[in-house]
Amino acid sequence: GSTTFKNAKLSQKLWHTLKSLLFSDAFADWDEDLDDTVEDLQMKFQQVKKEISIGSLTMWLFNTLGLLPLLVTGYNIWMRHNLLVETIGTTSEEENSLMAIKMVVVLAFLLGTILFLMEWMLMMVYQNKLHPWKNIVAKEEPVDPEHT
């Protein structure tokens, strides 16, 4: 978790930060220290899921900010198109171009959000259902003595 990051060398911190620009990942996994108690592992498990979630959300935010030039360009095309409509008129090719930029802007934001949610959900599925050590941090259900 965060204590591991705080105690890491500067080069390790920079490398992790660089990797995190490409994909969200925890600095240290919850299962790295074999001497941890089950309670420690459960706490680290929750910290890792939180770190992955915050990292994914941060990546989505920066990816969305990266689409702002596309939004500004689309807006400028739309305003220019409206000016042409009010003055000299537009051709069918210009109408098609306007429709294309509207679709590109909407789909870029929509797909970016959908892919972010899918990536986050897959990481949570792995942590909760597919991780080889998932049973260590599983909460035990109370046993009903009447059904044993």
Residue range 39-72, pLDDT digits in tens: 888 888 888 888 888 888 988 998 999 999 999 9
- pTM beyond 0.75, yes or no: no
Check: CB of residue 77 under 8 Å from CB of residue 49: no
Nearest to 100, CA basis, from 140, 130, 125, 73 = 73
The pLDDT mean for the chain works out to 84
pLDDT tens for residues 94-118?
Answer: 999 999 999 999 999 999 999 999 9
Residue spans of beta strands (DSSP E) within the chain: none
CA torsion 62→59→107→77, rounded to 10°?
Answer: 10
